[in-house]
A and B are shown apart, each in its own frame.
Chain A
Amino acid sequence: MKDDLRALLYLSPWVLGFLVFQFYPLIASLGYSFTNLNLMGTTRFIGFKNYITMFTRDPDFYQSLKVTAVYVLFSVPFKLIFALFVAVLLNMKIRGVNFFRTIYYIPSILGGSVAVSILWRILFAKDGIVNRAIAYLHIPAVDWLGSPNIAIYTLGLIIVWQFGSPMVLFLAGLKQIPSSFYEAALVDGASRPRMFFFITLPMLTPILFFNLIMQMISAFQEFTSAFVVTNGGPMKSTYLYGMKLYSEGFSHFNMGYASALSWVLFIIIFILTIVIFKTSNNWVYYEDGGNM
């Protein structure tokens, strides 16, 4: 009892913060989603109207879902593959590992900033440096940000470029793999690709699993790059879900409708997380049998 009180004293900031800024908002946004809450008029309970409007009369909702799905499906796998590739490279016996690791981490530190979004806008402009560089190699210019078919992938590149933290995690995981595994494989005459696919990759699956979930959750909520680099355009081709939420909630102050949007996103992320967790039994390998 005395122990509990003492612990509560230390925990009190978090308990309060959790209740006020996490638990209550989670429940409240569900409640709001059944109202017409906005900052002007009176708030009324309107049942499922927000959800019905969203699914039947809001083409922007479908557009943002579609764009976000493309964005997540493109950026997350590429980011993880790239992170893994670089981690494997850094794990080889090379000099200056720390130097390279530092350099590779910089975009992850700064990449989410407005400054980098602005930079991206200039680099990938139609007459920007990227196009002039590829013209040098006789590749025809690409309308990176102006073409509705391409812009979303250009935005995805910003995120792929910020592969630093999954890379650091993969690298830490690689260091954990006992070298005896590789030695045994070498004795058996295994080739390098075989070792990668039958030792390295299975041993890294717990980290892959973790990276996948965290990166997916954050990719679904991306906002800054879409807002600053393309402002959702051209023709709403980069109108990510985060932008839709922002424009309903904080440009038009349709808080009730925005809450409904946020719950749809929450449910999507929740279901995907559960699916990844459930399937993880089949593809994630825990050396200790998985008892956490």
Chain B
Amino acid sequence: MARVSRDSIKYILLIAVGMIMIYPFVWMCLASFKSNDEIFGSLNLLPSKISFAPFAKGWEGSGQYTYTNFFSNSFWLVIPTTLFTVLSSVVVSYAFARLKFHFKNAAFMLMIATLMLPNAVVIIPRYMIFNNLHWVDSYLPFIVPALLACNSFFIFMMVQFFRGLPKELDESAYIDGCNSFEILVKILAPLCKPAIISAFLFQFIWTWNDFFNSLIYINSVSKYTVTLGLRMSLDNESGVTPWNQVMAMSFMTIVPCVLLFFFAQKYFVEGIATTGLKG
């Protein structure tokens, strides 16, 4: 008897916490179909009648630029950034995990130390660099650092994964006449697929949701990503914010991330668990 009641307490707790976790998202989704009055006027979760008007009106964005622009901009920013991050991290981490070279420990410590370097302290000189290169108001401030493996989180994550692969694989490939690049591409990279997918997912979602960098580097509305589009919809001229439209568009912006998360959720948890970092 005691056993049963203890179990049910556990489940009640688990479900209660689960509700707190997802209720806001469910509410957001359903609020997208409501009228503005209903959002603030009623406690009902379900809309009294389903209307797609908030989606249609919200999608128009600023009038001149719609969410079609913002979404395509987001993809143009996020996809190259994500691909380059994964590519550069795999190459660099391979050297840290497998190759012998002088000062390897020092370099590795340095790389780990940058994990703890607050972004705030490097952001102004970075801005000045991009400003001098006339890269501000383009996506290069996102893409170029990705190409140069500037997020050591992913290097560390891949190193940890490489270390879990048996060294005999490299050695036998080496005896078969593979050079180091062939070992990486033909032997190790295919085995790293789970880590590569984790890295891709994290970087995709972080870049997609990134706000601060978008805010400082992107100025023209024509280049706005979805996060900046959302922010813009909050301060509209009329002074009355159409919250149902804002909710509908907020919901739309999280859809790509939610889909990715549900289709690949085990990679997220594995990614976190192997590195033990961040998020």
Residues of A within 8 A of B (CB): 3-4, 6-8, 10-11, 13-14, 16-18, 20-22, 24-26, 28-29, 32, 37, 39, 86, 89-90, 92, 94, 98, 100-110, 112-116, 118-120, 122-123, 125, 127-129, 132-133, 136, 161-162, 164-165, 168-169, 172, 207, 210, 213-214, 217-218, 220-221, 223-224, 227-228, 241-242, 245-246, 249-250, 255, 258-259, 262-263, 265-266, 269, 273
Contacts and interface: CB of A to CB of B under 8 A. Distances in A.
A24 B266 CA distance: 38
Contacts of B175: none
25 contacts: A18-B114, A24-B125, A25-B124, A25-B129, A89-B10, A102-B262, A102-B265, A106-B261, A107-B24, A109-B257, A113-B208, A113-B254, A115-B227, A115-B254, A116-B250, A119-B247, A122-B243, A172-B276, A228-B211, A228-B231, A249-B124, A255-B127, A262-B124, A263-B121, A265-B118
Nearest to A39: B131
Given A25-B122, A221-B120, 15 more contacts: A7-B104, A13-B147, A21-B129, A89-B10, A89-B14, A103-B22, A105-B268, A106-B22, A116-B254, A119-B27, A165-B279, A221-B119, A227-B211, A245-B120, A262-B120
B124 A110 contact: no
Contacts of B258: 106, 109-110
Given A32-B124, A217-B118, A3 B18 contact: no
Interface of B: 7, 10-11, 13-14, 17-18, 20-22, 24-25, 27-28, 31, 39-40, 43, 88, 91-92, 94-96, 99-102, 104, 107, 110-111, 114, 116-129, 131, 145, 147-150, 155, 180, 205, 208-209, 211-212, 215-216, 227, 230-231, 234, 243, 246-247, 250-251, 253-254, 257-258, 261-262, 265-266, 268-269, 272-273, 276-279
B92 A10 contact: yes
A14 B13 contact: no
A129 B34 CA distance: 14
B110 A133 contact: no
Binding site secondary structure of chain A: helix
B121 A262 contact: yes
A26 B107 CA distance: 17
B73 to A, nearest CB: 15
B261 A29 contact: no
Contact of B126 (A25, A94, A172, A241): A25
B122 A8 contact: no
A21 B216 contact: no
A168 B272 contact: yes
Given A7-B101, A223-B211, A265-B118, A29 B125 contact: yes
A214 B95 contact: no
A10 B91 contact: yes
A255 B117 contact: no
A198 to B, nearest CB: 21
A266 B116 CA distance: 10
Contacts of A169: 272-273, 276
Contacts of B128: 28, 32, 37, 255
Contacts of A223: 211-212
Nearest to A172: B273
Contacts of A29: 121-122, 124-125
Q: Which 7 A-B pairs have the closest CB atoms?
A: A17-B148, A165-B279, A7-B101, A25-B122, A115-B250, A25-B125, A10-B95
Given A17-B149, A102-B265, A115-B230, A28 B110 contact: no
Contacts of B116: 213-214, 217, 273
Given A21-B145, A110-B25, A169-B273, A104 B125 contact: no
Contacts of B27: 119, 123, 129
B111 A14 contact: yes
A165 B120 contact: no
Given A100-B14, A103-B18, A22 B117 contact: yes
A137 B83 CA distance: 50
A258 to B, nearest CB: 6
Given A6-B99, A11-B92, A26-B122, A224 B278 contact: no
Given A6-B99, A223-B212, A13 B265 contact: no
A220 B118 contact: yes
Contact of A115 (B20, B150, B253): B253
B99 A3 contact: yes
Given A16-B148, A107-B21, A165 B122 contact: no
A8 to B, nearest CB: 7
Contacts of B101: 3-4, 6-8
